[in-house]
Amino acid sequence: MPRPIQATIHTSALRHNLARTRLAAPDAQVWAVVKANAYGHGIEQVFEGLRGADGFALLDLKEAEQVRALGWRGPILLLEGVFEARDLELCSRLHLWHTVHCDEQIDMLALHKTHEPHRVFLKMNSGMNRLGFSPQRYRSAWTRLNALPQVDEISLITHFSDADGPKGIAAQMARFELATRDLPGERSLCNSAAALRHADQPAVKADWIRPGIALYGSAPDFPEHDAAQWDLQAAMSLNARVMAVQPLQPGDSVGYGSQFVADRAMRVGVVACGYADGYPRLCPTGTPVLVDGVRSRTLGRVSMDMLVVDLSDLAEAGVGSTVTLWGYAANGQVLSIDEVAQAAGTVGYELLCALSSRVPVHGVDGLDLQPW
Ligand SMILES: *Cc1c(COP(=O)(O)O)cnc(C)c1O
């Protein structure tokens, strides 16, 4: 029998979340962002649930090839564009649209031999200071691109640094609008947080939105809102089984560093999940889990292959009980990945992306968990 841990990808949740993001911007087209192996879910596992999107946005050429190999003939956008000149050959061959964020990428395009001109997304650095041309240099980059026979349509793209927080998007919006006022082309501005939180501003939603995290059912602005408040469903469940049970007497400790010490008689379960599976070692005692669908907590330090949960108030639980680390339990109860991430001092994004390759992943079309 394989080690009793598995991740389940819920196709119906992906479909629901895609519909939910469309609702936020009903006139826009939707890029399903599937970078980082679809935020840890696996491109193949999410394809069925997200194929209703208008396009797929990602970073790695390998992932673009994977999406084409799955039979997708629609748009694919490289969010960081090409990294070297020969990447453009693959763009021509696979009909990839690509972001242009720097002069070097325009230089490469100018030297590229192609029969079909490329659709490009010209990126503005409107304040995040990662990628893109400054508002002052944007127009000259546009003019230069527009003069190239290698370039077909030019779309306009920028990215918000604070769509999830109190600073908001107004200043970046204003810079983008001013610098692009009389430029033609489709526009793309919104990530998940902008699409959900700033849905009242029509200009934000533009022609293409680019949701990532919302599609996977994690709230972009937890704890201000949780996934349920945004009507998002967890697309990934991580479940493992109790492998052993230990009785504790007052004064007994649990795990490396004896970080948890019992102050009364207890019963604890040892679960087949550790940081080598992607469960954060930084989760302290008290991090929520579901045991057979009932809320409990972790005890002591997470180790590489195991962690320990409190079974003291769960008389029915024992060896073989299913522990939900995040997502759905068999009884339909859900544990938000955002809560677990918060306990570890991080965000749902990081936990999803960190799911380890040693964890078997199954896709299911309902919320049902596969039999082990
Ligand atoms: C990752 C990414 C997104 C998606 O962001 P979420 O916060 O996951 O919605 C959108 N646009 C760009 C340019 C990105 O890199």
Exactly one of 35, 216, 279, 328 is catalytic; which is it? 35
Q: Where in the chain is the domain with CATH 2.40.37.10?
A: 236-364
Average pLDDT of the chain, as a whole number: 96
pLDDT digits (tens, 9 = 90+) for 170-194: 999 999 999 999 999 999 999 999 9
- Ligand 1: residue of 191, 197, 347 to mutate (most ligand atoms within 8 A of CB) is 191
State percent of the chain over pLDDT 70: 98
Would you call 216 a catalytic residue per the annotation?
Answer: no
Q: What is the pTM of this model?
A: 0.96
Ligand 1 pocket residue status of 159, Cβ below 6 Å: yes
| pLDDT bracket for residue 372 (50, 70, 90) | low
Is 136's pLDDT higher than 90? yes
- Ligand 1: residue of 50, 131, 205, 210 to mutate (most ligand atoms within 8 A of CB) is 210
Judging by DSSP bridges, how do beta strands 294-299 and 288-291 pair with one another? Answer: antiparallel
| pLDDT bracket for residue 365 (50, 70, 90) | confident
- For residues 120 and 96, what is the distance between their CA atoms, to the nearest angstrom? 9
pLDDT digits (tens, 9 = 90+) for 219-252: 999 999 999 999 999 999 999 999 999 999 999 9
Topology (CATH) of 11-216? TIM Barrel (3.20.20)
Q: Where in the chain is the domain with CATH 3.20.20.10?
A: 11-216
With both helix axes pointing from N to C terminus, report the angle between 43-50 and 61-69 in degrees, rounded to the nearest 10.
Answer: 60
Give the pair of three-digit tokens for residue 257: 């560093």
- For residues 64 and 37, what is the distance between their CA atoms, to the nearest angstrom? 10
pLDDT digits (tens, 9 = 90+) for 26-65: 999 999 999 999 999 999 999 999 999 999 999 999 999 9
Is 213's pLDDT higher than 70? yes
CATH class entry, domain 236-364: mainly beta
Ligand 1 pocket residue status of 132, Cβ below 6 Å: no
| pLDDT bracket for residue 97 (50, 70, 90) | very high
Is 199's pLDDT higher than 80? yes
Phi, psi for 83 (deg, rounded to 5)? -105, -25
Which H or E run contains 104? helix 103-111
